[in-house]
């Protein structure tokens, strides 16, 4: 059964379909306002939360604490530098087998997962040595 979405949720879903990378709630708010589809920032957050609970939107929190939202399409894996914030995508996933085991063992429907390692990139390591 397909869920019925509010107008705000539909607008956010349409916007996210046009964006290839994660985007903050504040940037969603600004982009919708620029498209004359204005809604309050609190409504943006409420809509994102509802879509997240449906498994349609995923959230990734950066080392800076900023939350980025995107459509749930594939699992995301990153190396993130705590100093400069650069984020490097990792293309292999060691967690798919574990995900299947967890679903079976706990009768838990997993929509997606994230795997993120935090540390210092090569450039920031070199700067620390200077």
Which residues span the domain enclosing 90?
74-130
CA 71 to centroid of chain Cα atoms: 8
- Statement to judge: residues 63 and 21 lie in one domain: yes
Round the average pLDDT of the chain to a whole number and report it. Answer: 87
- Statement to judge: residues 49 and 10 lie in one domain: yes
Tell me which of 35, 54, 73 is where a domain ends: 73
Q: What is the pLDDT of residue 80?
A: 87
- Statement to judge: residues 89 and 41 lie in one domain: no
**Cα separation of 5 and 70, whole Å?**
17
Number of domains in the chain: 2
pLDDT tens, 46-71? 999 999 988 889 888 877 788 999 88
Q: Say which residue, 20 or 42, is predicted with more confidence.
A: 42
- Statement to judge: residues 2 and 52 lie in one domain: yes
Is 80 exceeded by the pLDDT of residue 42? yes
The strand ranges marked E within the chain are 57-61, 67-71, 76-81, 87-89, 114-119
Provide the CATH number for the domain around residue 59. 1.10.10.10
Is 60 exceeded by the pLDDT of residue 7? yes
> Exposed e or buried b for every residue in 26-48, given b needs 16+ CB within 10 A?
ebbbebbeeeeeebeeebbbebb
Provide the CATH number for the domain around residue 107. 3.30.1490.190
Give counts: helices (H), strands (E), the chain. Answer: 5, 5
Q: Tell the residue number behind the tokens 């620390």, with chain if given.
A: 128
- Statement to judge: residues 61 and 87 lie in one domain: no
Q: What is the pLDDT of residue 116?
A: 80
Mean pLDDT of 64-85: 83
- Statement to judge: residues 78 and 36 lie in one domain: no
Q: What is the pLDDT of residue 74?
A: 65
Q: What is the pLDDT of residue 114?
A: 77
What whole-number percentage of the chain has pLDDT above 90?
43
Rg (CA), the chain: 17
- Statement to judge: residues 53 and 90 lie in one domain: no
């Amino acid at each position: 059964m397909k869920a019925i979405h509010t107008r705000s949720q539909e607008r956010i879903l349409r916007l996210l379909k046009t964006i290839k990378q994660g985007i903050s709630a504040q940037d969603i708010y600004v982009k919708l306002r620029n498209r004359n589809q204005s809604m309050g920032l609190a409504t943006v957050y409420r809509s994102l939360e509802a879509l997240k609970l449906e498994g349609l939107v995923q959230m990734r929190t950066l080392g800076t604490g900023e939350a980025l939202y995107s459509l749930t399409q594939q699992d995301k894996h990153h190396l993130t530098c705590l100093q400069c914030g650069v984020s490097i995508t990792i293309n292999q996933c060691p967690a798919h087998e574990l995900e299947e085991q967890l679903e079976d063992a706990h009768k838990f429907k997993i929509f997606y997962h994230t795997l993120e390692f935090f540390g210092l990139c090569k450039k920031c390591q070199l700067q620390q040595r200077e």
